[in-house]
Amino acid sequence: MVDTNATGTFLVSQAAARQMIARGTGGAIVNTASVAGLFGAPPQVLRAAGYHASKGAVIALTRQLATEWAGHNIRVNAIAPGFFPSRMTEAVIGRSEEKMQTDVPLGRLGRPGELKGAALFLASAAASYVTGQVLVVDGGATAW
């Protein structure tokens, strides 16, 4: 889990930054974190300490790389999705969907396509003064 989420994110970010630095034009990197990197989860819903730790590492990495690469005009941000249906979340949602939905102010889980706008914003010129940030996309679950 840590190799895939934390080390993998570092290696891909590093490779992208090398290309951006070589071109001299800067750019934007958008990492995929998770609300799991910001908060714990009720153990009756999810027991995944390795996942939580690895996504917390992605958040810390994103912030640090933003400071290190800002001088090259490279912005580094992350999106932090809440629960979205996927192969990885299928079992958890199957066990706890009703509780999960009541924990979200919008009253539902994420839907396909609802992460695109956040990622596009962070990658676009509209976010030219945004770096080192984590944009949470969770239907308000972390607003409680």
Q: Choose, from 31, 51, 66, 69, the residue flagged as catalytic.
A: 51
Q: Which domains does the chain have, with CATH numbers?
A: 2-143 (3.40.50.720)
CB 30 within 8 Å of CB 119: yes
How large a percentage of the chain has pLDDT more than 70?
A: 100
Average pLDDT over residues 9-37: 98
pLDDT tens by residue, 78-123: 999 999 999 999 999 999 999 999 999 999 999 999 999 999 999 9
Q: Using 50, 70 and 90 to split pLDDT, how confident is the model at 25?
A: very high
Instruction: Please tell me the pTM assigned to this model.
Output: 0.94
Q: How far is CA 60 from CA 6, 38, 64, 114, 132, in A?
A: 10, 10, 6, 24, 9
3-state secondary structure (DSSP) of residue 98: helix
125: nearest Cα among 51, 25, 21: 25
* pLDDT higher than threshold 90 for residue 41: no
Residue 45 has pLDDT above 80, yes or no: no
Can 51 be counted among the known catalytic residues? yes
